[in-house]
């Protein structure tokens, strides 16, 4: 019996790494990338354009026609930047099989609507019984090297969450289930903003004390925003919360932390982004969180400081000083 088809819409580092995992399990992978030249390059070289250590087998194909890429797919993995999610889903909504599993692996909050990815997608295609978000502490660079990793399959439908758990699980990639979809989405979004702040501190040469304080207070901000959205507080003390926050604030692979570090060393945002070959989701998410905080009158001082540095040109070291000299309070 032939293996089922898995379509990946978006072929960046994370989509590429997950596609590599499933291709090695024998699934037929159909990648979509908006750039036909990039598709052709990967088709010929059989290597990923961002992760050249990946060598794709014959069960992997590349397409610039998005509807062709999803043709026959039981599983559709959405691996595009969060701010592009709406336009991509609009392009496939009329071709979707209602029985397909729709899996979001992007982390962000839409700027214009302040909606999470599940809210954006359901607004376009309606209720999706088999919608899942895959999240957690997982750098693509380590997954492709088969370094043990644990992530979360989150869905309001536990059977759908278990389906994706079984789909992606290997002896090196352990997948847990979680029914707090909104909590997992908020955790994956906010941690990127806190990681930019962690990068500021690295750029200044601050130490372990600073990083520990930042991560601890950062989890408080994740929890605060999550509660506003109706999330389960316990989610933020699991893989999609503290787990993802730790790795994103600490790892050399973290794009968000790296961006913060370069700004902390004196670079400006525009020049840092121009040198990056990958999307740094925390930049746009910082804008969304600022607007949410204004709308619901929530205090998130770390995220507020990041917003001011990125969008108002504030001095990052001065923002750290302001954080440290706020009114004293109990923990």
Spell out the per-residue pLDDT of the chain, length 331, in tens. Answer: 557 999 999 999 999 999 999 999 999 999 999 999 999 999 999 999 999 999 999 999 999 999 999 999 999 999 999 999 999 999 999 999 989 999 999 999 999 999 999 999 999 999 899 999 999 999 999 999 999 999 999 999 999 999 999 999 999 999 999 999 999 999 999 999 999 999 999 999 999 999 999 999 999 999 999 999 999 999 999 999 999 999 999 999 999 999 999 999 999 999 999 988 788 999 999 999 999 999 999 999 999 999 999 999 999 999 999 999 999 999 8
Q: Where in the chain is the domain with CATH 3.40.50.720?
A: 5-179
- Which part of the chain has CATH 1.10.1040.10? 182-324
Query: Which one is catalytic: 107, 191, 258, 290?
Result: 191
Residue 68 burial by Cβ neighbours in a 10 Å radius (0-12, 13-18, 19+): middle
Catalytic: 191?
Answer: yes
CATH superfamily of 5-179: NAD(P)-binding Rossmann-like Domain (3.40.50.720)
pTM recorded for the entire structure: 0.95
CATH topology of domain 182-324: 1.10.1040
205: left (phi over 0), alpha (psi -120 to 50) or beta: left
Length of the chain: 331
Classify strands 101-104 and 131-135 as parallel, antiparallel or unpaired.
Answer: parallel
Helix (H) or strand (E) holding 131: strand 131-135
Q: Could you tell me how far CA 183 lies from the centroid of its own chain?
A: 13
Neighbour tally for 271: CB within 10 Å? 10
């Amino acid at each position: 019996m032939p293996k089922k088809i898995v379509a990946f819409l978006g072929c960046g580092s994370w989509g590429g790494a997950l596609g590599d995992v499933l291709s090695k399990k024998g699934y037929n992978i159909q990648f979509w990338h908006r750039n036909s030249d990039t598709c052709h390059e990967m088709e010929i070289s059989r290597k990923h354009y961002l992760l050249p250590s990946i060598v794709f087998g014959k069960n992997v194909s590349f397409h610039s026609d998005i509807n062709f890429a999803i043709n026959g797919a039981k599983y559709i993995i959405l691996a595009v930047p969060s701010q592009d999610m709406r336009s991509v889903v609009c392009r496939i909504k009329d071709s979707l099989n209602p029985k397909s599993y729709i899996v979001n692996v992007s982390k962000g909050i839409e700027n214009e609507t302040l909606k999470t990815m599940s809210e954006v997608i359901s607004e376009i295609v309606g209720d999706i019984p088999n919608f899942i978000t895959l999240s957690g502490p997982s750098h693509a660079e380590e997954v492709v090297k088969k370094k043990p990793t644990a992530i979360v399959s989150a869905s309001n439908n536990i059977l759908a969450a278990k389906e994706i758990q079984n789909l992606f699980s290997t002896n090196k990639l352990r997948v847990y289930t979680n029914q707090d979809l909104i909590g997992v989405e908020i955790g994956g979004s906010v941690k990127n903003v806190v990681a930019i702040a962690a990068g500021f501190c690295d750029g200044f040469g601050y130490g372990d004390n600073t990083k520990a304080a930042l991560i601890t207070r950062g989890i408080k901000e994740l929890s605060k925003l999550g509660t506003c959205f109706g999330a389960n507080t316990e989610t933020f003390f699991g893989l999609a919360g503290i787990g993802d926050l730790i790795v994103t604030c600490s790892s050399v692979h973290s794009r968000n932390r790296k961006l913060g570090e370069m700004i902390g060393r004196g670079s400006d945002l525009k020049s840092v982004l121009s040198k990056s070959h990958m999307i740094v989701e925390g930049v746009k998410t910082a804008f969304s969180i600022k607007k949410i905080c204004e709308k619901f009158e929530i205090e998130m001082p770390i995220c507020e400081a990041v917003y001011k540095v990125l969008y108002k040109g504030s001095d990052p070291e001065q923002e750290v000083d302001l954080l440290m000299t706020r009114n004293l309070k109990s923990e």
